[in-house]
Structure 1
């Protein structure tokens, strides 16, 4: 029996296309028979060759779907089930709404599950899920996914209520996320850091936060003020600092403030949990570029700023990743320059300065301080 690895088998099957099978079968036919296109023997063999080529394609797909590294869609979901996990599904946007009567007083007779709708062509429906101490209401989009994240503005009541004169979304306190992508799920399944979650260890807290779908990323600082104290630093699903409403939601779920340490939340008995969001570390980028002069400077400057912002957005994707449960993140000048040099009309660029210094920026992650990179401005010299 000849052993062959899956990648080599796929490459071998990829060579076995229609022409491969057709030529192979025609080679087994005597040369004194007419084998040209349109001849009887050709027309008889061609459908079989096509069917065998299709089977090669099927076999390639079967092999790919049988391995986590190449599986997609439902097949990858099955692999996740074998690993005791599942794809993270899309969540619902949660918002704060101001609802007033004709005298601009807050309406008090709104009930849980009362419905409102956005204004515009693509209507988004919302249901009331709670009320804040200040009299404003908490609503949740009925549509899952990130589309409702972009809407702030007027609401129209769907549930009849004569008291409502004006309603509007004032903030999105918990942005939604879309279904987890194949790449993200695959990365989780192939991750070597499969520690067992148990008894309030760090992995256990990661599992707790995974259950709160409005949290997009978390850093965990155990024993940050001594034994039994845990600090959770969280971002929302847009990887932006969490608003107070979300911070409170997480605190109540993990370790209710009125009974902290008593085990009435997800945290073990004896754990006093603090939930905060990171502080912005503002970065101003100064860079000198040479252009080909083929487009206006205003357009090119916007493209440079967009490329730099994309780099900072990518940095935030790694904000919560750790090495042996230690966090680190650096803003690299060379990577900013590389991102800008990839733009079509930039022909050269000098190494940028960050906050007027010729040095990379190392963010601070300690028990007291956790920073989040924020692009404050891009100043371009040409």
Structure 2
């Protein structure tokens, strides 16, 4: 019997075709080639003889679908996507470790001074988090890093117990998470990076070079770069932490020391090229109060309805922060759209209608300011709901 001539089709068409080739397809196809004077009903000898082969061929169709999907960046997942990343000279961004500030005192509430680098502490509670000392601040507080990577330690502040014996310690507590951790990069995020066009080569302190520098500082979640903001050789980096919140003073100092140490600014002792004087700051918060009139179907309590609405508006603001550092030809812009807030509310169950919301009492969208002097970060201050 002659094989069918292969007709080139798209990968998606091939997947669609293979999805139709399930067990029923193969068993019926084989039964069609059996004489009609033979019992072909389910449970017959011929049916039971060909059923295992049909099942195996259906499984091969499923395998082929997976092979096709994993061979393309747009549909690959897991380790296969990691292999595609390696082909492009990059890799998945791995989880980081949270860094915290700890206040540690003796019986007289004086700062304990005999604590060494790598001394260990532990959180209290059922799921213990271990930390080790990585440095000390000028005010005497200690800098600690969580031993486990990922975002779990981001939610813990409070008492610490010394693991490394030290009789001088009376009380220890985490007072600040100055560099929140992040989890392993998701498939969606890695895929977006791999598919994004990059027409610029990082070289010699250009903007793309600074993006690469900051990508390698894993405690920085996002950055805006303003070149020559005070003349040639000056660069301003506006950064957020991994939770896309304003960076703490401790994190700002760490990034400054890494990129362009303060006492040797412009001399090339950091990542920045010789002659570049780098300023590292965090954006100013732009508070927004949203006021909206909604009509519900009355099937749930107002408290639950209001909470759902506030969560929907907060999710919109969270998404705004995710696009805060994206630029068009190295120009930053971000607008808070009332229509998108209303759309997010209307998608909620039990909301039957909503009026166009007001932002800070005004019937207009809000354009955030991004200049050499000012960079703003949207923050949802309150949601006022009129029923």
Matched, 1:118 2:123: yes
Matched, 1:93 2:98: yes
Corresponding residue for 2:32? 27
SS in structure 1 of the partner of residue 147 of structure 2: strand
Moved more, 293-302 or 60-69: 293-302
Partners of 1:363 and 1:3 in 2: CA distance: 50
Corresponding residue for 1:169? 174
- What's the CA shift string for 1:312-336, capped at 9, x where partnerless? 0110000000111110000000011
- What's the CA shift string for 1:22-44, capped at 9, x where partnerless? 01111111111111111111111
Matched, 1:131 2:131: no
Corresponding residue for 1:345? 350
Match of 1:52 among 53, 57, 66: 57
- Following TM superposition, by how much is the alpha carbon of 1:299 offset from its aligned partner in structure 2, in angstroms? 2.0
> How many equivalent residue pairs?
382
Match of 1:324 among 320, 324, 329: 329
Matched, 1:363 2:374: no
Corresponding residue for 1:268? 273
Moved more, 134-143 or 300-309: 300-309
Partners of 2:287 and 2:260 in 1: CA distance: 32
- Following TM superposition, by how much is the alpha carbon of 1:361 offset from its aligned partner in structure 2, in angstroms? 0.2
Partners of 2:371 and 2:60 in 1: CA distance: 57
Q: In angstroms, what is the RMSD of aligned CA positions?
A: 0.7
Matched, 1:315 2:317: no
Corresponding residue for 1:305? 310
SS in structure 1 of the partner of residue 221 of structure 2: strand
Match of 1:4 among 6, 9, 12: 9
- Following TM superposition, by how much is the alpha carbon of 1:194 offset from its aligned partner in structure 2, in angstroms? 4.0
TM-score (norm 1): 0.99
User: Segments of 4+ in structure 1 off by > 6 A?
Assistant: none
Corresponding residue for 2:188? 183
CA 1:194–1:177 in structure 2 vs 1: closer, same or farther (change >3 Å)? Answer: farther
Partners of 1:64 and 1:358 in 2: CA distance: 47
Corresponding residue for 1:77? 82
- What's the CA shift string for 1:144-168, capped at 9, x where partnerless? 1001000000000011100011000
Partners of 2:126 and 2:191 in 1: CA distance: 37
